[in-house]
Amino acid sequence: METRGRSVLKAVIWNGIGLFVMSIVGLLATGSATMGGMLAVINTAIGFTLYIVYERIWARIRWGRAHG
């Protein structure tokens, strides 16, 4: 089973990548670094929370795991 710490670290790293990408996309879409950055931060906060919940749910599901 995956630990909570590992799930959180994976979420932080993944969302850091997402924050960077969404900042660039937001800048290109709006023409404003401030507005693009705000959209990226909001997206990252929502995505981070949902990712942790998703990972913790899957950590409890035994289906598809190799045992032994």
Residue at 34 is within a domain: yes
Question: Would 40 be classed as within a structural domain?
Answer: yes
> 38 in a domain, yes or no?
yes
Q: Is residue 50 part of a domain?
A: yes
| Total of domains in the chain | 1
With respect to residue 65, please indicate whether it lies within any of the assigned structural domains: no
The amino acid at 60: R
Please list the pLDDT of the chain residue by residue as tens digits (68 residues).
Answer: 678 888 788 878 988 898 899 999 999 999 999 999 999 999 889 988 898 898 889 888 888 887 76
Report if residue 67 sits inside a domain: no
Range of the domain at 19: 4-59
* pTM score of the predicted model: 0.66
**Domain membership flag for residue 66:** no
| Contact predicate 48/16, CB 8 Å | no
